[in-house]
Amino acid sequence: MPNGEGTSTPPDSPASTAEPPKTQRRSNEFWLAVVGVVATTLVGVVGAVTTYFTGVEHDQQENKRQQTSFIRDQQVTAYTAFANAYGDLTDAYTQKRDEISMRNPFGDSPPKKNLEEV
């Protein structure tokens, strides 16, 4: 281009073929920050849900353990009461048998009556 001829740019220059500027795009740092916030929120939600369900499961297991322990305690109490009642019944039977045998020194059966005397 000669000196002083015009101020236009030659047709093969990159500035002449460039498109007009579009709307400004978001930077990579913005999208990285968005992904970081979403990932952090997701991890927090998963952690909270996991903790909740773990707590619920622990509570259910603890309730089952307490019920089993309570049932076992009831079984021990019932067996002890049964054993005590059986022992008392055996003692009462033995005492009554001894009383009867003291009244009848000739044996276990009452004396037979002579049928001719009746």
Q: Write the pLDDT tens digit of every residue in 10-54.
A: 555 555 566 666 677 778 898 999 999 999 999 999 999 999 999
CA-nearest of 68, 70, 48, 50 to 58 is 50
Averaged pLDDT, 94-106: 79
User: CA angle at residue 15 from 12 to 18, to 5 degrees?
Assistant: 100
Separation between Cα atoms, residue 43 and residue 57, nearest integer Å: 21
- What pTM does this model have? 0.39
Separation between Cα atoms, residue 48 and residue 54, nearest integer Å: 10
Q: Is the pLDDT of residue 81 over 90?
A: yes
Amino acid (1-letter code) at residue 26: R
